[in-house]
C-alpha cells in the first residue's frame, strides 16, 4: 500500500509532467510520424484474430502488439462472420451499410449483389490498389461492405478478407498480379476434345494454379460429340483419373454430362477456366438456359475462339452457388513458381525422384533419370511428362 506521502509525490510528478508537455513549443512544420497501414485485404481468415487493430497504429514496444492481440482475441467471438464485421473499418454513412458480393467489375465501378438486388457502386478512393498488393482493389467474387446512397447505387467501403484468389499477370504491368476471381471454391478446367484440340499443357498449368491456391479442380472435356470414338478421349484422360482428378466428359450441344456438371457446380463458387472457343459459355448456358450467355463460332483455320466473353462475370446459379465465366486466359498464375518446385505438382514424378542418379535431377535431360525411364515403361504418362518438360522450360531457375 503506498503511503499518503508517496501518493502525493506521485500526483505531483504526474502534474508536473503534464505541465511540462504543455509548455513544449509547437513546431508548425513537424511531420507526423509515419504510420503503418494494415493490409487487411491480403489477410486470410487465419489472420482474422488481429484484424480489428486500428488501420493506423503506433509503433509499440516489442511484444506489446502481440500481447494486446492475444487479449483481444480471447475476448472476441470465434464466429468468422462476426469477426469480418468487427474488423471492417466503419463505413461513413452509418446505418446504411450492407454486405454484398461483387458480380462484375469495370474501371472504378462495380456491380454488387446485395440482398438479391444488384446495385452499381463506385469504390471509396481511400481503398488503394497498392495497399492490397495487387493491381486491382476489387475483384469479382469479393465480399464487400457498401454504404448505400439511394436504392440502386452505393460505395464500396471495405473489401472483406479473401478466402482465395486466382491471379494473372497484369495486362499493363507484367511483374504485378491482377486478381481475376476472389473467393472461388473450385476451378472447372474446360478444354474441348476437338476444335480447338485439347491442350494438355494448359490443363496441367490450371491444375498447378488450383493447387497453389488451395482450390479443388475438375477437368471438363467438352465437345465430345466431335470425337469419332469415345475410347479416344477416355484413354487420353485416364492418367488424370488415375491421379485422382475428377474428369467430366460433356457436350454442350448434345447435352452429355450437363446434369452431372449442374450437380458439381451446385452450392459452390466455381471459376470456369479454359481457352477461348472451348465452350465455357455454352456449357453454362446448357446448365442454366436463362443465362443465355453470348457464344461465338471457332475460327475454322486457326481453330481458336474469338474471345467472345471479354468480361469476368459472377453468375448466380438456381441450385445455389455461383459460376464465374472467365474469358479464355492462358496465363493463370504460375508466377513465383521455380523449376525446382515444379515436380511437387506432379505426384507421379515426385514419387520417383529419389531413385534418380542425381539428387537434384530435373527429369528433363539427365542420364540415369528414373522418371524418363518410367515414361517408356508406362507408370508416368507420356502426355504428363511432355507437359512437365514444357512448363519446366518456361519457368525461371
Ligand atoms: N460441337 C460442339 N460445339 C460446341 C460445344 N460447345 C460449344 N460449342 C461451340 O463452340 C463455339 C465456342 O463456344 P463458346 O461457348 O462461345 O466458347 P467460350 O469458351 O465461352 O469462348 P470465349 O468466350 O471466347 O472464351 C460455339 O460455336 C459453340 O456453339 C459442344 O459441346 N459441341
Ligand atoms: Mg465465353
Ligand atoms: Zn530424374
Lowest mean pLDDT among 11-20, 71-80, 103-112, 195-204: 71-80
Give the pLDDT confidence of 206-226 residue by residue, as tens digits. 999 999 888 999 999 999 999
* SS3 sequence of 371-383: HHHHHHHCCCCHH
Q: 5 or 13: which carries more pLDDT confidence?
A: 5
Predicted confidence at residue 14, as pLDDT, reads 53
In the predicted structure, residue 21 carries a pLDDT above the cut 60: no
Burial profile 71-92: b = 16 or more Cβ within 10 angstroms, e = fewer: eeeeebeeeeeebbeebbbebe
> Ligand 1 within 6 A of 226 CB?
yes
Instruction: Return the higher-pLDDT residue of 94 and 11.
Output: 11
Across all residues in the chain, what is the average pLDDT? Answer: 79
pLDDT tens figures, 151-160? 788 999 999 9
**Contact assessment for residue 324 and residue 271, using Cβ atoms and an 8 Å cutoff:** yes
pLDDT the model gives residue 63: 53
What is the whole-number distance in angstroms between the Cα of residue 252 and the centre of ligand 1? Answer: 8
Residue nearest to ligand 1 atom 30, measured at CA: 223
Which residue, by CA, sits nearest to atom 25 of ligand 1? 276
342 in Cβ contact with 364 (< 8 Å): no
Which of 41-55, 175-189, 343-357, 378-392 shows the lowest mean pLDDT across its residues? 41-55
Q: How many whole angstroms from 286 Cα to the centroid of ligand 2?
A: 13
Strand pairing category for 322-325 and 117-123: unpaired
Give Cβ neighbours of residue 272 (< 8 Å, ≥ 6 apart). Answer: 187, 188, 190, 280, 283, 284, 323, 324, 325, 326
pLDDT at 183 over 90: yes
359 CA to middle of ligand 3, Å? 8
Cα(236)–Cα(381) distance, integer angstroms: 10
Please give the residue that has the higher pLDDT: either 258 or 330: 258
Nearest ligand, CA 353: 3
Q: How far is the CA of 100 from the centre of ligand 1 (A)?
A: 31
The rounded distance, in Å, linking the Cα atoms of 158 and 90 is 9
Whether pLDDT at 231 is above 80: yes
Cα of 9 vs centre of ligand 2, distance in Å, is 78
The helix/strand/coil state of 297 is coil
**Strand pairing report for 269-273 and 322-325:** parallel
Nearest CA to ligand 1 atom 7: 279
Q: Which helix (H) or strand (E) holds 385?
A: helix 382-394
Q: Residue 331 — very low, low, confident or very high, per pLDDT cuts 50/70/90?
A: low
pLDDT band at residue 67, thresholds of 50, 70 and 90?
very low
d(CA 324, CA 330): 16
Among 316, 327, 312, 284, smallest CA distance to 100 is for 316
Averaged pLDDT, 167-190: 86
The residues placing their C-beta within 5 Å of ligand 2, an ion, are 280-281, 308-309
Q: Closest-lying ligand to the alpha carbon of 222?
A: 1
Q: Where are the beta strands (DSSP E) in 27-96?
A: 36-37, 56-57
Question: Is the pLDDT assigned to residue 71 strictly greater than 60?
Answer: no
Q: How confident is the model at residue 74 (pLDDT cuts 50, 70, 90)?
A: very low
Contact of 346 with 388, CB cutoff 8 Å: yes
Over residues 221-234, mean pLDDT = 98
pLDDT digits (tens, 9 = 90+) for 335-372: 889 999 999 999 999 999 999 999 999 999 999 999 99
Task: Evaluate if residue 189 carries a pLDDT over 90.
Answer: yes
**Residue 181 pLDDT more than 50?**
yes
Q: Comparing 8 with 263, which gets the higher pLDDT?
A: 263
Ligand 1 atom nearest the C-alpha of 282 is: 15
Give 160's contacts (C-beta < 8 A, 6+ positions apart). 84, 87, 88, 99, 142, 143, 144, 145
Q: Note if the bond before 196 is cis, omega within 30 degrees.
A: yes
Amino acid at each position: 500500500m503506498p503511503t499518503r506521502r508517496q501518493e502525493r509525490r506521485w500526483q505531483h510528478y504526474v502534474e508536473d509532467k503534464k505541465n511540462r508537455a504543455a509548455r513544449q513549443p509547437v513546431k508548425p512544420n513537424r511531420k507526423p510520424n509515419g504510420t503503418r497501414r494494415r493490409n487487411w485485404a491480403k489477410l486470410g481468415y487465419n489472420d482474422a484474430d488481429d484484424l480489428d487493430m486500428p488501420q493506423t497504429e503506433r509503433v509499440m514496444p516489442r511484444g506489446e502488439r502481440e500481447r494486446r492481440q492475444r487479449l483481444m482475441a480471447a475476448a472476441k467471438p470465434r464466429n468468422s462472420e462476426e469477426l469480418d464485421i468487427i474488423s471492417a473499418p466503419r463505413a461513413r454513412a452509418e446505418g446504411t451499410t450492407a454486405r454484398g458480393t461483387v458480380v462484375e467489375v469495370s474501371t472504378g465501378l462495380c456491380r454488387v449483389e446485395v440482398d438479391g438486388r444488384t446495385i452499381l457502386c463506385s469504390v471509396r478512393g481511400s481503398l488503394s490498389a497498392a495497399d492490397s498488393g495487387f493491381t486491382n482493389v476489387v475483384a469479382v467474387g469479393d465480399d464487400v461492405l457498401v454504404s448505400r446512397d439511394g436504392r440502386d447505387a452505393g460505395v464500396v467501403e471495405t473489401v472483406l478478407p479473401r478466402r482465395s484468389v486466382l491471379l494473372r499477370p497484369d495486362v499493363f504491368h507484367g511483374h504485378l498480379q491482377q486478381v481475376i476471381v476472389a473467393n472461388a471454391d473450385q476451378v472447372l478446367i474446360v478444354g474441348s476434345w476437338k476444335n480447338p484440340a485439347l491442350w494438355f499443357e494448359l490443363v496441367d498449368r490450371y491444375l498447378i494454379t488450383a493447387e497453389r491456391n488451395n482450390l479443388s479442380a475438375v477437368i471438363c472435356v467438352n465437345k465430345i460429340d466431335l470425337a469419332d470414338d469415345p475410347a479416344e478421349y477416355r484413354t487420353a484422360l485416364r492418367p488424370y483419373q488415375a491421379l485422382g482428378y475428377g474428369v467430366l466428359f460433356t457436350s454442350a450441344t448434345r447435352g452429355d454430362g450437363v446434369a452431372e456438371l449442374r450437380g458439381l457446380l451446385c452450392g459452390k463458387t466455381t471459376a470456369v477456366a479454359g481457352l477461348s472457343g472451348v465452350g465455357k459459355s455454352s456449357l453454362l448456358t446448357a446448365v442454366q438456359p436463362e443465362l443465355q450467355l453470348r457464344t461465338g463460332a471457332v475460327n475454322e483455320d486457326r481453330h481458336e475462339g474469338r474471345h467472345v466473353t471479354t468480361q469476368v462475370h459472377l453468375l448466380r446459379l438456381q441450385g445455389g452457388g455461383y459460376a464465374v465465366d472467365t474469358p479464355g486466359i492462358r496465363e493463370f498464375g504460375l508466377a513465383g513458381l521455380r523449376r525446382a518446385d515444379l515436380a511437387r505438382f506432379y505426384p507421379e514424378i515426385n514419387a520417383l525422384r529419389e531413385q534418380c542418379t542425381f539428387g537434384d535431377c530435373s527429369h528433363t535431360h539427365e542420364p540415369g533419370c528414373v522418371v524418363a525411364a518410367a515414361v517408356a515403361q508406362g507408370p508416368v504418362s507420356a502426355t504428363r511428362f511432355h507437359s512437365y518438360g514444357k512448363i519446366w522450360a518456361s519457368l525461371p531457375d
